[in-house]
Amino acid sequence: MLSRVANTLYWMVRYVERADNLARLIDVNQQLLLDFESLDSERLRGFWQPIIQSTGDEEAFSKLYDDTGSNEVIRFLTDDPRNPNSISSCIALARENARTVRDQLSDELWEELNALYLFSRSDEALRLIESDPPRYYENIRRSAMTFLGTAASTTSRNEAWEFMDLGRHLERADKTTRFLDVSSYLPTATDNADAISPGILHWTATLRSCGAMGAFRSSRREITAESVVDFLIFSKDFPRSVRYCIEKVDISLHRISGMPRGSFSNEAEREAGRLLADLNFGSTADVFQSGLHAYLDALQGRFNHIGGEIFETYVLMPERVQVISIAPKAKSHSDLAPWHLEQKQQ
């Protein structure tokens, strides 16, 4: 498979997964506000600010908006074209990636993604954002799940599928940690505020953001910070837990390279294997001992490192560029034309 095609499929699915997770985050927090009717404008800003901080877009947001209110945050994360990580921007980028590799996708998969794109740009979407936001976010979530289900049902289990699955699970692991990290930025009115109902409401919202409420209830555990963190980071079975996603990342990387699991042929496989081992032998006590925010921040850094190594290994091909770029005595642009053509094709 051409590295350009692999990279395009990888990012196509990452963008759809990102749009789905943002829709979940905004919708759940909007509904959570109904339980805090007494919030004044200052505390309302304190409620939405953590959402922006957890996504890592606070710098971009501060350049575009002066206030951190519901309308501003929702607009920024939903359909602001100036935000490359808004829901509508992610869908547009996913569709553009799909368009460039149209021959690699099934007709059903392309039609589903194109329908999602057209909906996000429609007058109906604008009307729903203004008058019925929960229905808008539900449409985004359902379309994203339909897209991923269609991909699973119509894509051969070859390299194309592995790169798509790789992007989906790496993005999902990252967003799960960001949902959990919202708690690190929440203001508390009193020292024990997190131990009473607002704390329970927050962790319930976190579970709902990840679609984990039903699975968590079946485990028959009480909703506490420790039990939610343990479930969303270390669960072996829940498909949005960090541990589950990184295991899928490790499997996809080894299927792409052909190396048996437990060994590695590149830095991406080595880092994914190390992270999976840390998660297999880690515990919730370790998380809170090091500090929840510090632990989650370190995980996000490791996800980024794995993503960077995937790019270095399968897209950038630095060793090839280095060898050819020092080709001796190229005296004119015409001498470099064949190399430029080859690089463009790659």
Domain boundaries, the chain: 3-345
CB-neighbour burial class of residue 216 (10 A; exposed 0-12, middle 13-18, buried 19+): buried
pLDDT in tens, the chain (346 residues): 788 999 999 999 999 999 999 999 888 777 777 655 554 455 555 667 778 888 888 888 989 988 877 788 889 999 999 999 999 999 999 999 999 999 999 999 999 999 999 999 999 999 999 999 889 999 999 999 999 999 999 999 999 999 999 999 999 999 999 999 888 776 655 444 443 334 788 898 899 989 999 999 998 889 999 999 999 999 999 999 999 999 999 999 999 999 999 899 999 999 999 999 999 999 999 999 999 999 999 999 999 999 999 999 998 855 544 443 434 444 444 444 444 445 444 4
Which residues is 263 bridged to in the sheet? 261
* Cβ atoms within 10 Å, residue 214: 9
Amino acid 93 reads L
Cβ atoms of 87 and 94 within 8 Å: the answer is: no
Please state at what angle helix 242-257 crosses helix 267-280, rounded to 10 degrees: 150
| Cα 6 to Cα 314: distance, rounded to the nearest angstrom | 8
Closest CA to 290 of 301, 303, 299: 299
Consecutive H or E run containing 235: none
Q: Which residues contact 179 (CB under 8 A, 6 or more apart)?
A: 21, 25, 54, 206, 209, 210, 232
